[in-house]
């Protein structure tokens, strides 16, 4: 059997994503994603929290940065890649990044605070490579709307999405 290099993350963006173009004209979008673990300390009984930051690199997705804003929650699939470079003092620096193969906007914090779901919380938006516009995809991880919500499931289709 071969080897596997697969990463799946669900987290929140620490700041707006940035897209740049390399000399060949290929786009590269970079963003930082925070994932948080919570647990109850056995000795003190207090809840503890630890946040990990992940560097994400997404190639050939020119328009995705318009949607990747600070606080947004995203699902990322990809692989780990470590690269090296020499800093200004000639010291070798190692960086491990997640090279994104698949990205889904899940929702996130509005205006950088709170945890209220945004317009993507009921129907995540998939951001495929080289796509000019996002494609709505069904997700089993999206919570169902309460049955008493009269605005839920009123025949809205992908054609009603304004982008």
The CATH number for 99's domain is: 2.40.50.140
Can you give the pLDDT at residue 102?
A: 95
User: Within a domain: residue 26?
Assistant: yes
Q: Please choose, from the candidates 57, 56, 7, 62, the residue with its C-alpha nearest in 3D space to the C-alpha of residue 32.
A: 56
Residue with tokens 């963003």: 31
What CA–CA distance (Å, rounded) separates 102 from 8?
9
The tally of domains found in the chain comes to 1
Handedness of CA 134, 135, 137, 142 (dihedral sign): positive
User: Within a domain: residue 2?
Assistant: no
CB 13 within 8 A of CB 74: yes
DSSP, collapsed to helix, strand or coil, labels residue 140 as coil
Q: Could you state, in chain order, the average pLDDT of each consecutive group of 10 residues for the chain (163 residues)?
A: 95 95 94 95 93 96 90 96 95 96 80 39 49 40 41 46 45
Q: Look up residue 137 and give its two tokens.
A: 């995809």
Q: Please choose, from the candidates 120, 162, 163, the residue with its C-alpha nearest in 3D space to the C-alpha of residue 142.
A: 120
DSSP, collapsed to helix, strand or coil, labels residue 122 as coil
User: Within a domain: residue 43?
Assistant: yes
In the chain, DSSP assigns E strands to 7-13, 18-21, 27-40, 47-59, 72-86, 92-108, 125-126, 135-136
User: Within a domain: residue 122?
Assistant: yes
At a CB cut-off of 8 Å and minimum separation 6, what does 3 contact? none
DSSP, collapsed to helix, strand or coil, labels residue 156 as coil
Can you give the pLDDT at residue 61?
A: 86
User: Within a domain: residue 134?
Assistant: yes
Can you give the pLDDT at residue 69?
A: 95
Domain interval for residue 131: 7-160
User: Within a domain: residue 56?
Assistant: yes
pTM beyond 0.85, yes or no:
no
CB 6 within 8 A of CB 98: no
Can you give the pLDDT at residue 160?
A: 46
User: Within a domain: residue 144?
Assistant: yes
Q: What angle (nearest 5°) sits at the alpha carbon of residue 64, between those of residues 30 and 60?
A: 70
Find residue 75's DSSP bridge partners: 10, 104
Can you give the pLDDT at residue 132?
A: 42
User: Within a domain: residue 1?
Assistant: no
């Amino acid at each position: 059997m071969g080897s596997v290099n697969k990463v799946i993350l669900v987290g929140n963006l620490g700041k707006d994503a940035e897209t740049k173009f390399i000399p060949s004209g290929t786009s590269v979008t970079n963003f930082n994603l925070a994932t948080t673990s919570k647990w109850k300390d056995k000795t003190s009984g207090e809840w503890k929290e630890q946040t990990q930051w992940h560097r994400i690199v997404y190639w050939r997705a020119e328009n995705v940065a318009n949607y990747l804003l600070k606080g947004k929650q995203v699902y990322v699939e990809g692989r780990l890649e470590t690269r090296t470079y020499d800093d200004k003092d000639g010291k070798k620096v190692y960086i491990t990044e997640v090279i994104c193969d698949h990205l889904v906007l899940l929702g996130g914090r509005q205006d950088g605070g709170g945890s209220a779901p945004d317009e993507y919380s009921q129907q995540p938006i998939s951001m495929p490579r080289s796509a000019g516009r996002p494609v709505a995809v069904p997700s089993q991880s999206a919570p169902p709307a309460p049955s008493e919500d009269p605005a839920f499931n009123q025949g809205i289709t992908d054609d009603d999405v304004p982008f």
